[in-house]
Amino acid sequence: MQPSEIEQLIRSAFADAQVRVESDDNTHFAALVVASEFAGKRSIARHQLVYKSLGALVGNEIHALSIQAFTPEEWAERQSAAL
């Protein structure tokens, strides 16, 4: 499975999300998801929302998925701190 396919699936589940998915082998993936739907949710709940968007692909075509999930405000803070 291509990272771009996973990006599209995640984007379709979140309004106006920023999504970046990377992989070296197309079975182990790292995803960065910035979405307003994460506001007020703990890390595990955010990850569950991302997993839900991928359904049965997780554990099959997607062998492993590392997730970084931020609200737009958290992501902006992180970006400004990196400068």
* CATH at 12: 3.30.300.90
Which three-class secondary structure state does DSSP give residue 71? coil
State the pTM of this model: 0.93
Domain of residue 50 covers 3-82
Count of domains for the chain: 1
DSSP H helices, the chain, are 3-13, 43-54, 72-82
CA-to-CA separations, 45 to 3, 10, 27, 61, in angstroms, rounded: 23, 15, 23, 22
- Give the pLDDT of residue 59: 86
Question: Which tens digit of pLDDT belongs to each residue from 36-52?
Answer: 999 999 999 999 999 99
- Give the pLDDT of residue 32: 98
| Residue ranges of the chain with per-residue pLDDT less than 70 | none
